Amino acid sequence: MSFTTTVKNEVSKIENNELEKIAELSAIITNGAAIDKEIKITTENASIARRIFNFIKDLYQVNSLITIRRISKKNIYILVIKDKNILKNLGIYETKLLTIPKEYIIDDEESLRAYLRGVFLMSGSLNDPKTARYHLEFTIDNKTYALFIKQQLNKYNLNSKVLKRNNKYMVYIKEAEKISDFLRIINAYNAVMYFEDIRIYRDHKNMTNRLNNCEQANVDKIIETANQQIKNIEIIKNSVGLDLLDEKERIVAEYRLKYKDISLLELSEIISLETGKKITKSGIYHRLKKINDIACKIKKKM
């Protein structure tokens, strides 16, 4: 079972009051019905089919005709409603079908949440955060309605966007936090907990990887710097000898040749311990800089 199906099964069991049922059913029919002489709604989800049947019966005392077809090992549920008068009550018909529902359908917070839940049930899909990138989308038939859905989503600062895909339009959300917010909006709380658990795990894993990469970069830098310091010391040693250096610089040079892969801090600690003379990381750096200057002068004369 896909994550999308799991979420749809969850929200298909949410209890609604009458106004919320009207709002959700309005979205369901707008996004999932073929309307001609009758209203025909098609879905692959048994929970959604049951929800639609019950909504229509509760609101209008109309029993939908249900047909189940088996296509490619999947059950397809087809609900047929003969009474088209319900379209007016759902705010999607006046003298003709309306692209955007009447304002009263979503004129309060709970009705808007129910409407968006209906849109998700019929046209939404959501990647499982455990196995794929964060992505929530709604497949919409026309641009005007796609922009309308985008506007409703962005009332909650979800940063949704619209993209044309073939002959349809995709309204989508990419940010993990925004997708989690949408799941809260439609009251999919089990999905929210699952989604947040995965998101926290992935964020922690990414942070660990970044820290490891940073640590490795620091190690690489230490080794690269140490190698350059050793080359400078060997230039001096092979050309004029280390006796050219004063005592403090010579001691640092000799210890750097002895301990080739350690940091300046570690080098300062070893020299301080073995010679009994305190030297700081800064002191090591300045003496190696002098050694570098001497090596550069020798290279120019070579």
Which stretches of the chain are DSSP H helices? 3-11, 18-32, 46-60, 86-89, 109-123, 143-154, 176-185, 189-239, 247-258, 264-275, 281-301
Whole-number pLDDT of residue 286: 86
- Segment 239-273, tens digit of pLDDT: 777 777 788 888 887 888 777 777 778 878 888 88
Q: Which residue has the higher pLDDT, 110 or 223?
A: 110
Q: Is the whole model's pTM more than 0.85, yes or no? A: no
Identify the weakest region by mean pLDDT among 27-31, 172-176, 239-243: 239-243
Whole-number pLDDT of residue 208: 65
Q: Parse the chain into domains and list their residue ranges.
A: 3-187, 211-301
* Percent share of the chain, pLDDT over 90: 37
Whole-number pLDDT of residue 263: 79
Q: Which residue has the higher pLDDT, 22 or 265?
A: 22
CATH superfamily for 3-187 is Homing endonucleases (3.10.28.10)
* Cα separation values, 118 from 26, 103, 133, 185, 193, Å: 8, 16, 24, 12, 21
Region 71-92: what's the mean pLDDT? 87
Region 127-146: what's the mean pLDDT? 88
Q: Which residue has the higher pLDDT, 221 or 53?
A: 53
What's the pLDDT band for 215 if we cut at 50, 70, 90?
Answer: low
